[in-house]
Each structure stands twice: as structure tokens, then as C-alpha cells.
Structure 1
């Protein structure tokens, strides 16, 4: 033991315990690099030689097989830091700084705690006092070198991996359906069942256009999907089980099924809890993408079409957006209606009406996201009919001929653009070749110039590769424009398009798909009328307006002319007679039904019209009881006189209810029995009854 090390150890240090920290970076190192583990455990003898009893030397080795890049999930290191912070540790032993930590933040935190608690740190080179400036500076330098060493190791490994990936030779785990041959070529799985199942998945998606629909189809047909075990017991075995939505999405997004080699699709990042997570990267940020690198199940063009379909379907989970994948509802503009007030995508709501589902387009973005009020809503049938009529008009054969003429002009412009791109490509090839010749002519020993020329050559090659890829992509896009056969198919479709569109066997889903080929979206602005702004595929816009559907209260409202006629007829007729008169004149209610007694009564009550009874009473008519009291006879006698025509009466209801005109010129004589109820009364004279006569 050197004198310098012995001078740093005091009695206070010896009163506390010694902690030996043992760590290997991986389980493979634990099993293969056993000598390093033995050297770390041998430090216990060094602690005993410095004066600590063997029973007070604690070994912390529960971090074996864990990386020292961070302290998270390293329980042993956390325990060590706790013991140092509480002042229980007199010395901390480690074979080297990299065993304790390869992260400067963790390392300097340990140094700061050791300095505060006067704890010594010892490695294979000696003993250090963290409270001493010189020792702490040396320990900080060792920590920096340890972190730099880890960075260099990672850079070397990543550089080799990336270089091999750029050649497409990096061996990556293959998805189910693809395997490596002994010479490391990627081929389709020789198991025909696996091949047919994978092909069926892509064929089903090509037909239905939705990952959820693929899952429903495969599950309804009881088709199991293969899965290969990647690690652990049974590694390499194939298991068959029901497929789920996440698995379908994973397969459809994997470019290996299109025969492309891709590297850098994900990147490891750290979240707020310093936990590593995998983040998916956009295709523009992939480090390597080599189309047609090997045999695949689909073409690269189909893969890109699938990505477009999935992207359109996925916007249904984004704020303010809805998926455009056609659904089963009869709302024609489902997923394509934009709110003219807030710009959000409007939802489709269905309600039962006369045994059918009637669609409503509703902007409830503020309701869902902010607990506010709906911007606007509109009934769907009138809007769908207007768009259908516009679509049929646009798809007329003459309109198709005009569209094909415009397309031919566009094709000529595309050829001109392709010619210009060819010239740009030739110039890029020339510059790359010129840079290559310059590099080959330089003296290899003149590294300063050679490195600059090599960098310039590599830059020209990258520019050429980018331009070449863009040129090929644009050429493929141009080839997909309307050729002769496509024009003939469009003409045939246009000639029969109205019949196909109006055919009852054409499902709402098919109508939505046809509409999606021509219309990008429709913006609605509901005011006194519904204003629609239609954006066609290609950028052309068109506006039209439709009458706003009347509210149900207005639809059910009886016309003013009918109400006025009922009011007029109430002067002479009762409700039953009025119903007959209205039907004879051809009037009907809002449902087209004939008027009845109850319907007339409902209208009369709804509009506050006076009844026939009230009108007669206002004109001075009397009831039978009132006339009987005036004459001093029974009501039955009054009714009999009314039936005989002696008293003039007016019927005000259907059940023989009458009111009588005031009997000012009639006098009745008493009959037998002193009352007039048992015998028919006798008419005495027709002189007016004097006021107060008996």
C-alpha cells in the first residue's frame, strides 16, 4: 500500500463501511469475460489491506449484465448512491470509472455526494478524495474519457452497421413470409401455407381498402395467421393464431413485403422519465431505402398506394379530421364535408325517419374537444341529391371528352418536363464523372487535396442518386396518366354512369368510392340557404346553393288559406261539415291525408279559432235549458218544439246539440196537469211577449 493512499484514509473512513461495486455491461460478458469479473471481486482484498475488516466490505453485484450508460433500472448503483449520501460509506471501490458509470451526469452526481460525505473512491490505479480539487479533477477527467470511450465504441459499431446497410447486406430480422437462404439472400418462405396466407391478406386489403375490414374478413372466415417466435424457448417456430388490427397495420407498413430493403425506420429516443422508446420515422428520414432489393409479395407501386389509403383512413383519429374510407351509412359525403365556419371536418349523424336512416352533417368539433356548442348542422338528403345531380352532369360523355382533351394537353406538358429532367440528369452524370476523374488524377499521398476531392465526388454522387430517383418516380407517375385503353374505359363508364349510379344494387359504399375519385371535399356554410363549395380532383372548384330544409314545425303547419277558410266556415258549419267541405275542395293536411273531425278540431285549437258554439252564443243564441226556464217548461218540451219547427234552432255539434234563437214572438198555454211535460203544449197567439208577462 503506497504512503499517499494511506495518508488519505483516516479513522473516520475506517469507522464506516467499504462498498465494492461490480458490474458487467451484458450477460454475454458475464458468461464469457469471466476474468474481468474475477478482477473486480479481487478488490475486496485491496479493501482489507487498507484496513477494513472483511465483514464490513459489502459487495454490490446485482447490476451484472446491465449497461452503465444511465443509472435508471440499475438498482445496485442506486443503492450505492444512497449509502454514500447517508454517510454510511467510507470508501467506494470499483475496477475502473467505467464500471461505476459511463454517463457524466451520473458520475458527477456521485462525486458531489462523495465530496459532501467525505467518502473516498478507489479504482485499480489508486485512492481518490472527491473533496480534494486535484483528485476530483482527475476523477472528472476519467469520467469524461469513459463516456468518450462509449461514444467511440458506438460510433464504430453504428458506422459498420450503416455501411453494410447501404449495400443492402445487413442481416435484419425478416417478417413472416420471408426467409434467408444459406447464402443470405431474401426469398419467399418455402411453406406454401404461409405464402398463401400472406398473399390473401394483401389481396383482401386490395379489395376492401381497410385494415379493420381485413381483420373482420379473416376472422369471419376463421383463417389463422402465422407468427414466428423471435427469442426464447422455441425460437424460430411458427405459431398460428387469429390476427388483430395492429398486426395487419404492421404488415401493410413493412416495405420488405414490397421487395425493398429499409433501414432506419425507427429511432431510439428517451421520454421525460428517461426511458428509451422506439419512435417511428417518416420515410424521408429513413437512412437507407433500396427498392426491388429482393423478391416481394406486392410491387412498390402497390405499397405506396396502400400507404396512401392507410394515411387517409388514419386521419379519423386526429383532432378535427375524419377518415375518408367509405362506410356502410347512406351519407354520400361521409368524410368529405368541411365546416365553412371553423374549417373542421363535419361528422355524419343518422336518425330514424319513416323507417329509414336519414343522415345529418354536423360540426361538433367544439362539442367533443372543448365542451362547447355545435357550429352548424344540415340535413343530408337535399345536399346529397344536389351533389349527385352535379356529379351526373359532370360525368356526361361530352364532359369526359373535354377532360380527355385537357388530359392530352397535360400529357404534352409532361413530355416537355420529362425532356428537361433528362437534360438535368445528363448534366448531373457529367458533373459526377468529372468529379471522379479529378479524384483519380490526384496524388494519393496528398491527403488534404484527395480528401476534399473525394468529398466533392461523394456529394455529386448523392445529388445524382437523388435526381435519378426523382426522375424514375416522376416517369412512373407520368406513365400512369390516361393512355388509349384508359380513355376507352372512361368513355364506356361515362356512357353508362347514370345507370350505374342510380341502380338500386349499387351500394352506398360504391357510390362513395366513385365520388371520391372525382371530388376532393365539400365545404358547407348553412345560412338562409345551404351554400356548398365543391373542390374537384385536380383543383377545380364549383359553388352551388340549395334551399334549406324547412323545420318540421313549418312542414306540419296548416296553410294560412286553409285556416282562413275554416274560420269562415265556422260561421255556418260545425267541425264535421267543415271537414267534408275541405275534402270536397281538395285540401289535405301536411301528410297528404284527408281532413276528419279530429283534424279540424286540432287545427281550430292550434290557431285559437272560436268554436261554432261560441260564435252562436255571441250572436244571442240560447241553450234548451235557458229557453225552458224562460217559458217555465221542461227542456224536453223545448227540444220537441225545435223538432217541430216552432222554435228555430242551429246545430253546433255532430251529436244533435243545438242552440235556439230567442223566442220573442211565441206564447205557450198550459196543458192538462198544470205542466207542459205530459201533453203537447198549445199555441195561443203569436204576439210578442211583453216584458214581465206571466
Structure 2
């Protein structure tokens, strides 16, 4: 074969790359090749090989959103123990981080090249459509030559050749319309906003990688472009991965195996302790409401309900709230304190914010609870924390102080409606 004897549709390097991809897409060969890129979410499918027996690791999907890699030797011989098996989500994330870390220095150059490709006239789609138009014109010319040389006496043959000529003309007209539409849609220049967006994506590759529009097929092709294969070996309580890059370098990764009962759906300790604290002052339905207002979700990403709170309590041996349990411990909420003092709940909340009444709150949006006894509510002591003195406070002084502050503030307002608005705002403090 004489290379570059005439101009080809693609370069010799592209031809060899395409042949390599076609060879690896031959799934019938089995473990000898990577296999074709499929629609599954496992990004390392076809790249992983067992470090013990050399077999290719098979990909399994035990449940929606769950990925598992397992040595394929046990599939052929069920009596043999599995060499290595591990979950795929964490491994996919670790390998992707390594690839993005290696591609980050070249990200700005790739973004600039993308801008130049958009600005230039060598649009791949236009080029492919132009080649298709050239082929269509050749088909039209050949159909015309065939029609011209036919014997007029052969009506059936002439009619068939005329029909083929018309079909070729229709195809040519359609391709010409598509080519004109592509040239019209192609921007002549890239705006400054587009340039800034491309450069921002180049600086934040993880955001681009996790974008919903980034399909698993694109990620798999990118990983296969930079990685030759990955060797997985089981070592005691850890899995060791050796990444073989296309350039010949190697990178070693290591992660601990998941212990029994440890998985990604385990609830965090903070949420468990928060439910434990709230269960002493609120029923399950109110606990679910508080957790939802805080924006917390279950390990499966669901909102909280009374049933789910109850299941969590049962799994962690947390007792259910009993009616009157708080009163038995001598704790009062805001409404009970307000009823004893004959004031509004807003006044009690203001006393708590001014640290003139001791109260605790399990978390944001949780009810305030005061351990002051009913007899000490109207007249109690509050220390300054310095071991000094105790101050006796009457709640009426809080009310008088709020009214005085509102009156002083409203004097600076001009019109009566403005003063009324200020009073309403201050009264809700």
C-alpha cells in the first residue's frame, strides 16, 4: 500500500484508530477485547482486569443505581471462589478524579481550540454534508448517462432508469437544502459570552463531568482514550487499582473494602442524634416536619414522614415520645410560659433572645424548652457567666422596654402610616 498516494476522506491515523475501535467492539471475542461502549452507567466497563487470574471483570447491576464489578472467572467455574469484587460507584468517582486531574492542565488549550473550531470554516458537519453532496451529484450524473444510452424501444427499461434518475435528483436536492441550512445556522463568530462560558467550563472540569447532559457513553469514550486498562487486586481489607495510561505511565489507587452494614445508605450520626433529642419533646410527625424545614433528607434522598421517623427510631433503639413526658421532667414550652405570665408568645421569645430567660433549642426550627419551674417563671434569676451577681427580672420590664423602643423609633418617621408600619414591625420582634 502506498500511503498518501491520493487524498482520502480521512487520514491514515484516523483509519488506524477506527480499525482499533472496531476490533475492540467485537464482543464475540470475549475477554480478549474491551467490548463496545454501551448505555450502562458503569464507566469502567471493559477496562478492569483481575490482578489474580487476568480475567476481565464483568459488570453487574444488582439494583437501580447500584454498580458492581466482579471477576468473570467465577462465571465460568462456579466452584472457584471469586478473586475480586467491589462496588462500582466509588471506584468510578476515584478514576474520574484522576483523569480530570491529568486533563486539567490541557483544559484551557482544549477550550481555545474549541473556540477556533467554532470560528473557523472547517465545521465537521458541513464537511460531511459536502462530501455527501458530491456523492449525490455523482449518482445523478451516472443515472443520466445510463438513461441516455438506453434503447428508446425498451420502454420498461427506460422507465425504470428514468425513475432512478428522478430519485437521485430528489436526494441531491434534499442534501443541498440540508447543506444550506447548516451554513446558515453556523455562527460566523463566537460571542464574548460564549468564549467566557467555554473558558469557565475549562476551569471547572468536575462541573462539566457531572453535568446532566454529559452521557455515560461520552465519559466511557473519554476514559478509553486516555486509559489502556486497569488492574484490580484484592489485598486483605483493601482493593488496589493500577491505572495503565496510554502514554505508558502508571498510577496506583487504593481504597478500603466496605465492612458489613457499611454502605452509602447509612444515615449520618448528626441526624440520628438530632432525632434522639427531638424524640424527647416532639412526636414523630412534628420531628418529620422539623427535619423537612431544615432541608434534611433520608439516606435514599427522600423527604421525612412520621413513618420514616418511626422506622429510624426503631432501628436505633430510640424511645417514642409520650404525652406528658416533658411536663414530668419539669420543662415548659413557649406557649405555657406565656400563659403563666399572661403575655404573648412573642414577648417570651424576645426574653429568650435577650438572654433574660434560660431556654434551650435542639436545633433550628425546633421549639424552645425552658427548665424553669412554674413557681419561678414570674420572678427568676439570670447569671452573667462571670460568677458575679444575679439579677431579678420581671417580664413587665421587657414589655415596657419594647414599647419605649418602638415609641422612640416612630418619632423619626414622618407620616402616620409610616409610624403604624414601624409599630407593627417592632411588635413582631
Query: Taking structure 1 as the reference length, what is the TM-score of the superposition?
Result: 0.27
If you compute each CA radius of gyration, which structure gives the higher value, 1 or 2?
1
TM-score (norm 2): 0.40
